[in-house]
């Protein structure tokens, strides 16, 4: 069993959180303007989109949120509202795709250069999230 498989099998919070992020980043890169469409729908018709999210299941009873709450309770991770983790994950993964035209323009990047940056993020996001979870001493 690989080290990643062992970590996932053990179910460490960080591993549970990070395992799907690479898939999400790959998917977001492949679906083009879908993040922009979702944001547009959130702004123009928020009740319609929000009504499709089962808040109780997605937030309150999700395994991820249970693990975050447990980690906070046990003192393993920083005591912050678990929604901060969710907001940061959304910002770290989705926003770069939404802002790609701006980022490419101000960075003088071609699409291929932007794709390289997104590949680098796959390695950087775990570092940032781990730092976010770390308790201040």
pLDDT, position 11: 53
Q: In the chain, what are the domains? A: 3-133 (1.10.357)
Decide: residue 62, CB within 10 A, 0-12 exposed, 13-18 middle, 19+ buried.
middle
Q: Model confidence over 115-131: pLDDT tens digits?
A: 999 999 988 988 888 88
Q: How high is the mean pLDDT of the chain?
A: 79
C-alpha span between 134 and 120 (Å, rounded): 22
pLDDT, position 24: 77
pLDDT, position 127: 87
C-alpha span between 108 and 128 (Å, rounded): 25
- Is the predicted pLDDT of residue 7 greater than 50, yes or no? no
Q: Model confidence over 89-124: pLDDT tens digits?
A: 888 988 898 899 999 999 999 999 999 999 999 889
Helix H or strand E encompassing 104: helix 100-107
Q: What is the pTM of this model?
A: 0.69
pLDDT, position 17: 67
C-alpha span between 112 and 22 (Å, rounded): 18
Considering only CA atoms, which of 33, 30, 38 is closest in space to residue 100? Answer: 33
pLDDT band at 47 (very low <50, low <70, confident <90, very high): confident
């Amino acid at each position: 069993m690989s080290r990643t498989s062992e970590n996932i099998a053990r179910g460490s919070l960080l591993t549970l959180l990070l395992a799907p992020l690479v898939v999400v980043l790959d998917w977001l890169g492949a679906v083009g303007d879908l993040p922009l469409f979702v944001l547009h729908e959130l702004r123009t018709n928020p009740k319609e989109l929000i009504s499709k999210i089962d808040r109780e299941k997605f937030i309150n009873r999700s395994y991820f949120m249970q693990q975050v709450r447990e980690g906070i309770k046990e003192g393993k991770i920083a005591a912050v509202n678990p929604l901060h983790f969710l907001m940061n994950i959304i910002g770290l993964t989705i926003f770069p795709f939404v802002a790609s035209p701006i980022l490419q323009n101000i960075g003088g990047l071609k699409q291929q250069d932007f794709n390289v940056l997104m590949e680098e993020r796959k390695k950087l996001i775990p570092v940032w999230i781990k730092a976010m979870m770390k308790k201040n001493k």
